[in-house]
Amino acid sequence: MKLVDAHCHFDFPRFDGCRAGELEAALHNGVVGLVIPGVRSSDWDRVKSTAQAHTGLFYCLGIHPWYIGEHSERDLEALESLLSARPERCIAIGECGLDRLHGDLASQYPWFEAQIELASKLNFPLIIHSVKTHDEVHATLRRHNWNGKALLHGFSGSYQQAAKLVGQGCFIGVGGVITHPRARKTRETVARLPLESLVLETDAPDMAPEGIVAGNNSPAYLPRILECLAEIRSEQPEYLASVLFSNTEELYGHSLW
């Protein structure tokens, strides 16, 4: 089996001094690629250099709703300039989106909408962060006539919300949350969704699977998520791995291995 981690913050300091070992462990477990999202302009160079230093790593650039206060219109202009050059291994815009539990939604909307428009203009997929805003994200994508591909990362909403987002061009990120028995709603949702709408992610170092210390997640744990998903859906892990890998390449429009 070969797996790809569709969303992993591998540039974060948690991995400083141990990236080679973490990658070796991940590869040993069948993880042949991973995608690093960018969250703020001050980190973009680090994200790029981390991806370009290792085989099988790809990256995205974007402005996360938690960090909009650090940015100005010039950062959006810089983002467009960087992405227009089509840098090697840069395969999406994000992480961007909305978060009801962190900051003011009214302030977040212009940044999310600007990145939707930029992704449409440059034909890049989107990486979307959404916390208790799935309906708002769907409405915003519709309002902007979004017809591209997007990853709704770290999804934990209802089946009805997920189905609407899938209909709007979103893939649903399946991560460590499904390994926690208390996450009944999310587990039921990923069991019902079409397999072709799902991709695997760790969100490492966050969103740890059951039994892993918070903040210590790793791409090496991606097979645990696959095994749990196979159990939830009553499908063979080998079959799931093949389809999920293809889904991730379709999402990003890029060969990831």
Chain segment 112-124, per-residue pLDDT in tens = 999 999 999 999 9
Q: Supply 13's token pair.
A: 């300091």
Give the model's pLDDT for residue 1: 87
- Would you say residue 180 has pLDDT above 90? yes
pLDDT number for residue 147 = 96
pLDDT tens per residue, range 218-240: 999 999 999 999 999 999 999 99
pLDDT at 140: 98
* Sequence-ordered list of residues with C-beta below 8 angstroms from that of 33, at least 6 positions apart, any chain: 4, 5, 56, 57, 58, 256, 257
Q: How many CA atoms lie within 13 A of 84 on its CB side?
A: 8
Q: What is the pTM of this model?
A: 0.95
Q: What is the pLDDT of residue 257?
A: 77
pLDDT band at residue 95 using 50, 70 and 90 as cut-offs: very high
Q: How far apart are CA 92 and CA 152, in angstroms?
A: 13
pLDDT at 107 over 80: yes
- Asked if the model's pLDDT at residue 187 lies above 80, the reply is yes
Q: Which residue has the tokens 């939604």?
A: 105
Q: What is the pLDDT of residues 130-151, one digit of tens each?
A: 999 999 999 999 999 999 999 9
Considering the chain, what is the average pLDDT of its residues?
96
Asked if residue 62 has pLDDT above 80, the reply is yes
